[in-house]
Amino acid sequence: MILSKIHPKALLLALSGFCCTVQAEDLLAVGTRFNQIFEQQANGEFTGLGVDILNRFAKQQKVTIHYQMTPWRRAQSMVERGQADILIGPYFNQARQHLLSFSAKAFYRDEIVFYARKTSIIPWNGDYESIKGLRIGKMQGWSYGELFNEKTQSLTINEFVDIKSGIERLSRGDLDLLATNVRNTEATLANIKIPQAIDPIFPLIDTQDGFMAFPKQAQFAPLKQQFDFFFEDMLQSGELANLSKIHRVTIPD
């Protein structure tokens, strides 16, 4: 259900070049579980760096933000269709740029790596030819960068809906490598038991920056504009840097 629409007056002001506040009383922010970015506790409370940022934005704009945790592809679709106002944490890529309006700046940075069993000897040296023939896992709906997408087209790839399943399959020996990010993987490993230990191997696959994203429909333009103004202030004041330390999240330089 659409919980908010930007008031026509706000849209006119934005298009005229005037700064304005968000006119909706309620906004809907969606995403899937991203450790330290967007999480839901047992008591129902939503936490994470993304939530802290949006809560501060809501306070400044005098609006209420409702949060919804949903499978990643569904979350993206909701924002693409204007059924939700904000998508928390997507990486930028060209395909998504056609469907979503990304915030001007990213609010976190991830290292994308391969994980392997500690007992395995994997010849990964940055050249995808070196892992040809290996069984590789990746997360469904994640963006790994254009080079990864191009180079893995001829490789054996298994997709997983959740990271826990990928980790368990790798640990059991059903996979040789799991392509993932360090932040989500280490947080998940801290909460589960697996048969064999796994570790990241280097060099990195890529680094990816995470953004807030908004619907591309014109009526949402003032919302994105006001968020960009707000977020720039957070950067300049050092508030984002302080929050990133609390949540143990890397932020772009």
Q: What is the pLDDT of residues 27-73, one digit of tens each?
A: 999 999 999 999 999 999 999 999 999 999 999 999 999 999 999 99
Q: What is the pLDDT of residue 192?
A: 96
Between the alpha carbon of residue 65 and those of residues 27, 30, 85, 142, the distances in Å are 5, 10, 9, 25
Per-residue pLDDT at 8: 36
Amino acid identity, position 222: P
Q: Phi-psi region for residue 79, left (φ > 0), alpha (ψ -120 to 50) or beta?
A: alpha
Q: Residue 13: is its pLDDT beyond 60?
A: no
CA nearest to 167, candidates 193, 144, 143: 193
pLDDT for 4 beyond 60: no
- The pLDDT, as a whole number, for residue 1 is 35
Q: Which helix (H) or strand (E) holds 24?
A: none
Q: List the Cα angle 71/76/81 in 5-degree steps.
A: 125
Backbone torsion region of residue 100, taken as left when φ is above 0, otherwise alpha when ψ lies between -120 and 50, otherwise beta: beta
pLDDT at 141: 84
User: d(Cα 193, Cα 4) in Å, to the nearest integer?
Assistant: 42
Q: Which residue in 80, 84, 50, 53 sits closest to 68, CA to CA?
A: 84
8 A C-beta contact, residue 61 and residue 4: no
Mean of per-residue pLDDT scores for the chain = 91
Q: What is the mean pLDDT of residues 186-205?
A: 96
Tell me how far apart the alpha carbons of residues 61 and 57 are, in angstroms, rounded to a whole number. Answer: 6
Q: Which two tokens stand for residue 7?
A: 């008031």
Residues 6+ apart with CB under 8 A from 80: 99, 100, 215, 216
* Side chain identity, residue 60: Q
10, pLDDT greater than 70: no
In the predicted model, is pLDDT for residue 240 greater than 50? yes
**pLDDT at position 12:** 34
d(CA 176, CA 157): 11
Inform me whether the pLDDT recorded for 235 exceeds 60: yes
Residue 198 near residue 178, CB atoms below 8 Å: yes
Give the C-alpha distances (Å, rounded to integers) separating 222 from 8, 61, 179, 231. 10, 12, 37, 14
Share of the chain above pLDDT 70, in %: 91
What pLDDT is recorded for position 25?
A: 84
Q: How large is the average pLDDT for residues 19-32?
A: 77
**pLDDT (0 to 100) of residue 187:** 94
Please check the confidence at residue 5 and state whether its pLDDT lies above 50: no
